[in-house]
Structure 1
Amino acid sequence: MWLGLSIFVGYGIAAITGFGSVIIALSMGALMLPIATMLPVLVPLNVVMNGYITVKHRHHIHWPTLLKVILPLMVSGTALGYGLQPWLGDRGLQLVLGVLVIWFAGRELWRSARAIAALPHLKWWTQSWMFVAGITHGLFASGGPLLVYALAGVAMEKSAFRATLTAVWLVLNTLLLLAFAVDGSLLPSLDKVAWLMPVLIAGLVLGEYLHHRVQENRFRQLVYAMLLITGTLLIVSAAK
């Protein structure tokens, strides 16, 4: 029930704001559940959603950026992150996720309060953070915050940016899905995926309904504040 609520909230918020489905659902769920047991449920759900969006908006994908810039670095980083999961253990994963969530939410609140525009990075800095984003994706299926940071200031239309990122998540999560199938964690989770699919759809439907009925900037600030609290709770819980 807690995982279902986390998915409902995470995907509902993502439908309103356009970001955060996995990182919100995972950070909420990790307050009560092991991260390693949630990922084989969250990743298939995310593949279904991103598969639909990618096919629908495939004509907006910026293929050179996807194939030549993002995927080579993020695929290698994702493989490393997946390999680090057993080494970190659930407490380690919880601690790293808490730090990531606090960094992301704190940075966005700071930028929002001071109206700071995104500036382009040097090439080596962008590539370094793309690789690190791949590591966090391998750990949590949540490379979005760091990839968006890495791509700050990149000249790309909004529709192309969104479609390209969606294609990134589809590719990386499909690879994680294959890894879960090989390590044996996917099959026992498929019944939960089937049961929770209607919850995901309900969250998306409600989010779409609210999208044009809430003030998005104010709502984003509330989400970031919620993530700050959640990240702090994760760190405190992991430190016990």
Structure 2
Amino acid sequence: MLLDPWLWLGLFILLAYTIEAVTGFGSLVIALSLGALILPIPEMMPVVVPLNVLMTGYLVWRNHRHIYWPVLLKLILPLMLLGTAAGYVLRPWLGDDLLKLLFGMLVLWFASRELLRMYRGIKITPHPLMLSRALTFGAGITHGLFASGGPLLVYAIGGIQLDKSRMRATLLVVWLTLNSCLTALFLFDGTLIPSLPRLVLYLPLLVVGVLLGEFLHHRLDEQRFRQVVYGLLVLTGVLLIFKALEGYSGSMLS
């Protein structure tokens, strides 16, 4: 039973939602990056994406007054929706090893950049508008590929002057919208229904993770905790890259 990869994914989901409740970011990135070490990314997405819809739906309802609609409707959502559709179409053509390689590179870039930024105290500066749009579209593609558009999107819009509450609420609407669309696509392509039993089993882990994270949030040094999480993601990204390259070398030898 301890060798069951889906049991381990449950542990990763609990860890991911606990971390998100403490730090406010990364449940899908953490759950998928750890899970991808033992399971194919396409098999996990119909389970973890609907879970995220439930959580973000609740959070959007609680924080709807802080949503900044001009940036959401004019810049982020149209490009993210187009990019997500493109990523969803591309995903079946890439294969699991290439998906793991690309995902590992994304996770490694994101976590290394955040660690460096925290260490050097680097301030985020605005990008030119065309670059922000290109990066936002790219974030949509990464979301369609592995439901993890957050790292690139935060980088794309990092220079926009919004207070913490408005930025958080606005991004929550993005994830709710995109992950709801992905869930609908999983229903149409036939992958959601077989995943429902696991989804139901993991629901209590989501609740426990949020409650545990709320408890820890007031008792941990968040800055130090973020450093540990980013360090874990750097290690995970490296392992994903090596695992993907190992798969490539094995397929070439065969």
Q: TM-score, normalised by structure 1?
A: 0.99
| Alpha-carbon distance, 1:42 to partner | 0.4
| Alpha-carbon distance, 1:165 to partner | 0.2
Q: How does 1:1-240 map to 2 (within 5 A)?
A: 1-240=7-246
1:92 maps to a residue whose letter is: L
1:142 maps to a residue whose letter is: S
- Per-residue Cα deviation, 1:145-188 (whole angstroms, up to 9, x for no partner): 11100011101121110000000000000100111011000000
Inter-partner Cα distance in structure 2 for 1:121 and 1:186? 38
Q: Which runs of 4+ in 1 moved over 6 A?
A: none
Q: Matched residue of 1:220: which SS?
A: helix
| Alpha-carbon distance, 1:140 to partner | 0.9
Inter-partner Cα distance in structure 1 for 2:116 and 2:192? 39
| Alpha-carbon distance, 1:12 to partner | 0.6
Inter-partner Cα distance in structure 1 for 2:201 and 2:16? 17
Aligned to 2:249: none
Percent identity over the alignment is 57
Inter-partner Cα distance in structure 2 for 1:153 and 1:84? 30
1:69 maps to a residue whose letter is: L
Question: Which structure 1 segments of 5+ residues have no match?
Answer: none
Q: Matched residue of 2:25: which SS?
A: coil
| Alpha-carbon distance, 1:231 to partner | 0.5
Inter-partner Cα distance in structure 1 for 2:74 and 2:197? 37
Q: Matched residue of 1:57: which SS?
A: helix
| Alpha-carbon distance, 1:103 to partner | 0.1
Inter-partner Cα distance in structure 2 for 1:12 and 1:24? 11
| Alpha-carbon distance, 1:56 to partner | 1.1
Inter-partner Cα distance in structure 1 for 2:27 and 2:65? 23
Inter-partner Cα distance in structure 2 for 1:94 and 1:6? 17
| Alpha-carbon distance, 1:58 to partner | 0.7
Aligned to 2:251: none
2:194 maps to a residue whose letter is: P
Inter-partner Cα distance in structure 1 for 2:70 and 2:84? 20
Inter-partner Cα distance in structure 2 for 1:90 and 1:204? 30
1:130 maps to a residue whose letter is: T
Question: Which structure 2 segments of 5+ residues have no match?
Answer: 1-6, 247-254
Q: Matched residue of 1:118: which SS?
A: coil
Inter-partner Cα distance in structure 1 for 2:118 and 2:163? 21
1:212 maps to a residue whose letter is: H
1:44 maps to a residue whose letter is: P
